[in-house]
Structure 1
Amino acid sequence: MTTKPQDTATTEALAALRNTAAILGLAVVVADPDDDQTTLPPMTLRLPDGLPHAPTAEACTAWLHARAIDASAHADPQDTTQVLVTMGSVAAVHRLTEVLLAPRARSRAGAERLAQALHPHDLDGLKVSGEQSNVLIEIRSDDLDSAVQLAALLGVPDIADGLKIGRAKGRREACVRMEMLLTGLLGPGVVVQNLPGCEHTPDGLDVWVDVEQATALAERIAAQPVLDHTGPTT
C-alpha cells in the first residue's frame, strides 16, 4: 500500500506518533516527505522498552511483527544504535502508536485504581502516579507517619517499633521493612527507596510496583474498613 504523505490521514498518523514518542521520551524521527514522495517517509527509531538492548534489524522486525505491526526494519549504516523502519501503511503507524502507549495507559489505570482505594483512608502525604510501565507511590511525611499508617492498613501496625525514625539508620531500616512487607504481600519486584528529608522537605519513601501488583494492592486496601482518624470528641 502506498499513501501520499500529504494526505490528512497520513499527516495525522505521523503527528500522533511523534507526540507519543515525545510523551514517552523515545527517539522517533520521521523524515520530512519530499513533495513528489508517494509512500510513507522512512522513520528512525531508538528502540523502546521491550526490544533488545543491542538491537538488530532482524530483532526489530520480529518485535514489530509479533505485535501485528505491518513494518520492517533495516540497519542504519550511519548509526549502529538505531534502525530504520519502513511502515507498510497508515494503519501500521496507528498500531505502532497504540503499542507504544499501551504500557503507559495500563500504568495510569493501575495508579488511578490504587489512588481510589487509598482515598477513603485519608493518608496524608501519599501520591500515586503511573510511570512508564510501573506505578509509583510517593510517601512524604514527617517521621514517615504515612508509611506507618499504610503498613497498619496492610495489617502490620508495628512496622516502626524499636526504630528511631528521626535518624538515618532508623529510616533505612523502615525502608527495608516496608519492602519486605510489600514483597510478602505482592511478590518479588517491589522496590522501596529511602529519601531522607531536609529542613524544607519531609522524609520520604518511593515505592515502585508493577501494574499487577498495584491492582492487587488496591484490592487489598479496598477491602479494609475505613478507620476514624479524628479521635474521640469531648
Structure 2
Amino acid sequence: RTLTPEVNKATTVPPSSHKPLLVDQRPNAFQSTQRPLPPTPGDNKLPEKPSGVGSRRISQQPWYHHVDRRQAEEMLRNGEDGSFLVRPSSQNPMTLTLWYKRRPYNIGIRQRSDGRYALGTEKANEQSFASVEELIQNYRSEKLVLYSGGNFVTEIQSMMHGFGDARTPLLESATLIQTVVQQQQWALISQAADVSIMRGAKSIGPEDIFFLLRKDPVKVHRLLKYLGTSALPVA
C-alpha cells in the first residue's frame, strides 16, 4: 500500500524520474463540456488501494500515488507539460491526473467489459490496453489527445481579480467557472441544433441562436456586437 504523501506548496512534481506523457491538445468544445463537474472535496472516500488486474504492481509504480484530486493537482502544479500521476478514484478504477499548459486534467482510467483499459468516456473504435502499465507506456511514445473547448483559465483569473478577488485567484475556482460556462454553451448549441432541425436546415445558423435569445434583447445585442453585424432584426 502506498502511503499518502504530505503535500505542500514546495512540491511541484511527483518525486520520481518517470518520463512525462506526450500531449496534443485539440479544440473541441462539445466533447470537453460533457465532462461532469468535479465532486465536492470530501464527498467521496478514496479506496484503500487500486482495483483491477495487477493492482499490486500498480501500487508499486513510481507514478502511482495514493492521493485525492486536490493533492494530485497540487503535486503537479507548475511542473513541465506532460507531468502526470495515477491515483485512486471513487468512480473509476483509477484516474490519470495530467499537467498541461498551466492547468490540470483529470481523466478516468476505465476498465471495459472485456477487461481492457481505456481513457475517458466510452468511444467508438477507442484505443484500449491490456493493463494500466501498458496504457501509461503507450502515451510516453504516442501523443495523448486532449479535447478542450479552449483554455481561458488565465483570462478568467484576471477577470476574477478585476472584480475584487485575490491577485492570484484559485486555479480550481477559475477552472470550475470555465467548465460551467462551457456547459451552458453546449446546452445552447444543443437547443439551436433542435431549432435548425425543426426548420429543415442541415446545419446550425445564426438565426437559430437568435431565435433562442429572442426574448432577451440584452443578450441579442451583445451577440450582434460580437458578430459585428446588425443584419438580423431584434424583436
Scaled by the length of structure 1, the TM-score of the pair is 0.28
- Larger Rg computed on CA atoms: 1
Scaled by the length of structure 2, the TM-score of the pair is 0.28
